[in-house]
Amino acid sequence: MENNKVQIFDTTLRDGEQVPGCKLDTNQKLIIAERLDLLGVDVIEAGFPISSPGDFTSVNEIAKIVKNATVCGLTRAVKKDIEVAAEALKHAVKPRIHTGIGTSESHIKYKFKSTQEEVVRRAKEAVSYAKNFVDDVEFYAEDAGRTDNAFLAKICEEAIKSGATVLNIPDTTGYCLPEEYGAKIKYLKENVKDIEKAIISCHCHNDLGLATANSIAGAINGARQIECTINGIGERAGNTALEEVVMILKQHPHLNLHTDINSKLLYDTSIMVREKMGMFVQPNKAIVGANAFAHSSGIHQDGVIKNRETYEIIDPEEVGVTESAIVLTARSGRAALAYRAKNVGYELTKVQLDLAYDIFLQYADRQKEVVNEDIHTIMKEVNKTSKIA
């Protein structure tokens, strides 16, 4: 495999969909899966087949229609889960079973009331069992973010010996700092025997707002798969946002890492997911938020009108947004008003602009935003005043 490609593993339909309020029916999931395939993701985690008959059907139907991406189903380290996932994935061109177990002290002690030895035994058994059904088996060490590195290396080594093709290192609770998470990946690269036989995957949650930073730190330190969701939806504060990692790698070519995502489809995909899930996206969300390419202060607007790159590091067209927005508010200046007036057909002289700007400020102080309709009304007032004068 090409060493500077980072595979994109999309879990919108699994980790994203398990969020309260985000539930989708099979038809909606099929539409999203088709779109993800078009977007260019490498892996679609379609669901957790044993969790419900509905999820089984969705994974099964998605497996039938996806043409390019690997289709993956989640399981616990439980034989029945693995059998059901294999059955759900049987029509996939490229099926993957994603199996694993909690590895941190708190998972082993409190969730399983078990021991490290027993957890290693179950991990090996699950991976070996999954290999009876598919070649491509991803092993996850749940709560790897809080797992002791030496034990994590041991269980990863055993997973590789059992046939794992991908090692998922989830920061399940979103606890790690980027340096720490990056160092964890580096430690695994340096201490797991035969690590080159598997791809290391980052699966980061956003409890401290660090999911994207941690995933990038992981990739810089040798991970070659990032697990993420559209709009960053997912358990609690969410998962790593797909659109963020894709654009970070694109905007920083010196990292020498890339994905195969068609970034021009990012915005439309974001809209599709928010509409289907009924999940609102904050306006200041990076890349796909309503304000991501909107400029409202006079100083910024003046800069952007003169040269877009003054205040924009991404060309909006790169992510499928038609153009930057110059929003008219009480903080806007004359340059912005002249620009917006020109867009709706008024080429203003200096005198007209001065007059229009005074009227505009009265509007802007009364309302949150001055819209095109207001500009036409302002221009009528300007023309009246000019005639009287």
Site residues (CB under 6 A) for ligand KIV? Answer: 15, 140, 142, 168, 170, 172, 203, 205
Which is closer to ligand KIV, CB of 144 or CB of 348? 144
- Which entry of Zn ion, ligand KIV, none binds 357, CB below 5 to 8 A by partner kind? none
List C-alpha distances in Å: 339 to 277, 334, 335, 372: 37, 8, 6, 12
Beta carbons of 101 and 115 less than 8 angstroms apart: no
**66-103 core/surface letters (b: 16 or more CB in 10 A; e: else):** beebbbbbbbbbbeebbbbbbebbeebebbbbbbbbbb
Instruction: State how far the Cα of 267 lies from the Cα of 288, in Å rounded to an integer.
Output: 6
CB of 107 to ligand KIV, least distance (A): 10
Which is closer to ligand KIV, CB of 104 or CB of 324? 104
Which is closer to ligand KIV, CB of 73 or CB of 316? 73
- Which entry of Zn ion, ligand KIV, none binds 142, CB below 5 to 8 A by partner kind? ligand KIV
Q: What is the largest CA-CA distance in the chain?
A: 91
CB of 129 to ligand KIV, least distance (A): 17
Instruction: State how far the Cα of 229 lies from the Cα of 281, in Å rounded to an integer.
Output: 13
Which is closer to ligand KIV, CB of 15 or CB of 243? 15
Instruction: State how far the Cα of 322 lies from the Cα of 316, in Å rounded to an integer.
Output: 6
Residue tagged 């200041």 (tokens): 284
CB of 175 to ligand KIV, least distance (A): 11
Which is closer to Zn ion, CB of 157 or CB of 227? 227
Could you tell me how many residues of this chain bind Zn ion (CB under 5 A)? 1
- Which entry of ligand KIV, Zn ion, none binds 244, CB below 5 to 8 A by partner kind? none
Q: Which are the contacts of 368, defined by CB distance < 8 A and separation ≥ 6?
A: 329
Contact range with Zn ion by CB under 5 A, out of 7-15, 103-111, 216-224, 292-300: 7-15
- Which entry of Zn ion, ligand KIV, none binds 300, CB below 5 to 8 A by partner kind? none
Contact range with Zn ion by CB under 5 A, out of 15-23, 194-202, 270-278, 295-303: 15-23
Contact range with Zn ion by CB under 5 A, out of 13-21, 52-60, 95-103, 337-345: 13-21
Which is closer to ligand KIV, CB of 11 or CB of 58? 11
Count CB-CB contacts under 10 A for residue 371.
13
Find, among 250, 188, 254, 241, the residue nearest to 215 by Cα.
Answer: 241
Beta carbons of 211 and 204 less than 8 angstroms apart: yes
Under the criterion CB under 5 A, does residue 15 sit at the interface with Zn ion?
yes
Nearest residue (beta carbon) to Zn ion:
15
Count CB-CB contacts under 10 A for residue 354.
12
Which is closer to Zn ion, CB of 15 or CB of 138? 15
Residues that bind Zn ion (CB under 5 A): 15
